Chains A and B, each alone.
Chain A
């Protein structure tokens, strides 16, 4: 092994002195500044200098010796293992009517385990199917903007886009809906959905049917929605059928109507669940 140079030894000593000084400085710095960079910088310097000092010390002042040791066998000997098995067997043999005891304990543990799993039900606040198939939309509920204002069908310009909520449920994500007005003759909705549009105004759930992000982008030149998370693209004109990206299910369409005051209302809830797909959706 090489004799360490004087430089190594000097550097080792300097590093450790820097470590001590930086640590001392940190004691004061905490009371003087709240700067993340100063506090973190001093702490990092102290830690780094101490690490460097120790490493250099190892090179400069310590013997480095490669040693060879023996590995003892890991496994127990056949004899030891048999002794263990024999003792366990001998002990078990002293228990009378063992089969009944084992059976009873297994039944007990099994039943208790099932009981324990039953308690998990308490962690589920609602029955999923009841929640997943419903939103606050129903017949007669007005469409309102984020500020709570209702929308007159006639005042909505062609090619406009708005985010709307069921009146009184603005904080409810499942009711969040994208509202778009296009030229009426462009619409090519599936037959059963034709009556859900009003004067070229269509409304679709804002929650992506792929992974549940808000479908937040509308491109009016192409009449498509797109989701910024995984880039699913939906055609607004034909019932929000996915035409690109990973989504497979159309965005549910909200059946629209107009109330006596001329404001846009829903005429029912969505006909299929909003949001990402799950097992019981056909």
Chain B
């Protein structure tokens, strides 16, 4: 008799210890995955996270987050003799003296941007096709939580470098937290350890960035995938597709090969971006120095909407019982809370608008619900204008116009574009045969 390969013998041995053959065959090997390109966004997010962890471990072994002042004498000549934080010096060290260091730093940064982008696209897909409906409400909530965690950790990563740009970002984030009514000062001091810059700040954020937040992301990601596995994917409407069937290709071997290829493609794109597309060139910004700042300070794209809100929303001199409500509170803090609360409550709101609380495993097409899609497009347009507004100074320079004029234009767009987007979406979907 032909001897079975080593891996099969080891697997059989382990099966004798725990007995998994039946489950593995039914839940993994024969598992059916629907094929549709819009189902890939979640997968891209997952693989971006894997790349983030791999590159992040490498970077964490080289980076030191200290705030202690040092004088730079490294291989980057333009900053020779310049006082800076230990964190910024170690960032320069990784970028210029560690072989592959800059590559991994840039892959890490691109992966963070792609991670959030893929999550956003994933949520947009779920919104426009009704995948938030029963029985997937809980998994939607976990997904929104993952979005918040991804944005938070992206900001933390951007902040720990000790460069002028990230130091400016921390000052603004501190101002937003500080503006919170009643608890603001205590909350800001709890998070930031006092007004930035202070010696506690970078080590504290570093610890959150490399340990606490990734651990929580991993936990929720596991839950998210566990629930997905149990519930199986949704299907787009089509022949033989109803609430008691699932149509697609089997995990083994078709979907496994496709998914591995997908992972390789995502990695290839991120590595290519890391190799050829410069991102966050901290040596150009220089070290953080409190009284200094540069024009055109922008956050990563996924916080551009918050930056835009702090710029575009009007200044209202609000006082309540003799207390001040600063603009960063309603423009930054409150708007974020409303945005995410809206997302958290969407499964309940959607069910009410659809007048349908039933269980669905078959998605709807956008044209079946033009009103809901119009609403979704209006919200997207609103945040898109805020995102552009976050760069109003850069846009003003680009078009050789005054910042204030650009700002007034964006303020008009902030109202006009959502209305126009909603109307256009509704009209377009009705034309395409909606009800």
- Interfacial chain A residues near B301, Cβ < 8 Å: none
A278–B261 touching, CB < 8 Å: no
**Does A150 sit at the interface, judged by CB under 8 A?**
no
**Does A198 sit at the interface, judged by CB under 8 A?**
no
A67-B250 contact given A39-B100, A211-B176, A213-B171, CB 8 Å threshold: yes
- Interfacial chain A residues near B232, Cβ < 8 Å: 71
B184–A278 touching, CB < 8 Å: yes
A71-B185 contact given A51-B268, A214-B290, CB 8 Å threshold: no
Q: Mark interface residues in A209-241 (1 if CB within 8 Å of B CB, else 0).
A: 011111010000000000011110000000000
**Does B421 sit at the interface, judged by CB under 8 A?**
no
**Does B243 sit at the interface, judged by CB under 8 A?**
yes
Q: How far is the CA of A34 from the CA of B99 in the complex (A)?
A: 5
From B100, B194, B246, B260, A131 is in contact (CB under 8 Å) with: B194
**Does A93 sit at the interface, judged by CB under 8 A?**
no
- Interfacial chain A residues near B30, Cβ < 8 Å: 69
Q: How far is the CA of A47 from the CA of B175 in the complex (A)?
A: 43
Interface size on B, residues (CB 8 A): 92
Q: How far is the CA of A48 from the CA of B262 in the complex (A)?
A: 10
Binds A, one of B13-21, B123-131, B154-162, B292-300: B292-300
Q: How far is the CA of A174 from the CA of B313 in the complex (A)?
A: 27
B103–A36 touching, CB < 8 Å: yes
A51-B261 contact given A64-B249, A67-B248, A67-B249, CB 8 Å threshold: yes
B267–A54 touching, CB < 8 Å: no
B32–A67 touching, CB < 8 Å: yes
**Does A55 sit at the interface, judged by CB under 8 A?**
yes
- Interfacial chain A residues near B45, Cβ < 8 Å: none
Q: Mark interface residues in B216-260 (1 if CB within 8 Å of A CB, else 0).
A: 000000000000001110000000100111111110011001101
- Interfacial chain A residues near B189, Cβ < 8 Å: 124-126, 128, 131
B275–A246 touching, CB < 8 Å: no
**Does A132 sit at the interface, judged by CB under 8 A?**
yes
B291–A58 touching, CB < 8 Å: no
Q: How far is the CA of A39 from the CA of B197 in the complex (A)?
A: 36
- Interfacial chain A residues near B374, Cβ < 8 Å: none
Interface size on A, residues (CB 8 A): 72
Most buried by A among B248, B254, B258, B260: B254
Query: Using a CB-CB cutoff of 8 Å, which residues 271-301 of chain B contact chain A?
Result: 271-272, 274-276, 290-297
B313–A246 touching, CB < 8 Å: yes
B35 to chain A, nearest CB (A): 8
**Does A136 sit at the interface, judged by CB under 8 A?**
no
Q: How far is the CA of A39 from the CA of B180 in the complex (A)?
A: 47
- Interfacial chain A residues near B115, Cβ < 8 Å: none
- Interfacial chain A residues near B315, Cβ < 8 Å: 242, 245-248
A40-B272 contact given A126-B194, A276-B179, CB 8 Å threshold: yes
B178–A54 touching, CB < 8 Å: no
- Interfacial chain A residues near B103, Cβ < 8 Å: 36, 39-40, 43
- Interfacial chain A residues near B168, Cβ < 8 Å: 213, 229
B373 to chain A, nearest CB (A): 27
**Does A281 sit at the interface, judged by CB under 8 A?**
yes
- Interfacial chain A residues near B100, Cβ < 8 Å: 30, 34, 36, 39
Most buried by B among A71, A123, A211, A245: A211
Q: Mark interface residues in B391-419 (1 if CB within 8 Å of A CB, else 0).
A: 01100000000011001000000000000
A74-B135 contact given A66-B249, A125-B200, A277-B326, CB 8 Å threshold: yes
From B181, B182, B265, A51 is in contact (CB under 8 Å) with: B265
B257–A57 touching, CB < 8 Å: yes
Q: How far is the CA of A126 from the CA of B267 in the complex (A)?
A: 45
| A–B Cβ pairs within 8 angstroms, 9 of them | A39-B275, A41-B272, A47-B268, A173-B291, A212-B195, A246-B331, A247-B315, A248-B327, A277-B179
B-binding residues in A (CB < 8 A): 30, 34, 36-37, 39-41, 43-45, 47-48, 50-52, 54-55, 57-58, 62, 64-71, 74, 120, 123-126, 128-129, 131-132, 146, 163, 165, 171-174, 176, 206, 210-214, 216, 228-231, 242, 244-249, 275-282
Query: 6 additional contacts, CB 8 Å, given A39-B100, A231-B404?
Result: A41-B276, A44-B271, A69-B245, A128-B185, A229-B172, A231-B403
Q: Which 5 pairs show the lowest CB-CB distances between chains A and B?
A: A40-B275, A51-B264, A173-B290, A277-B326, A128-B185
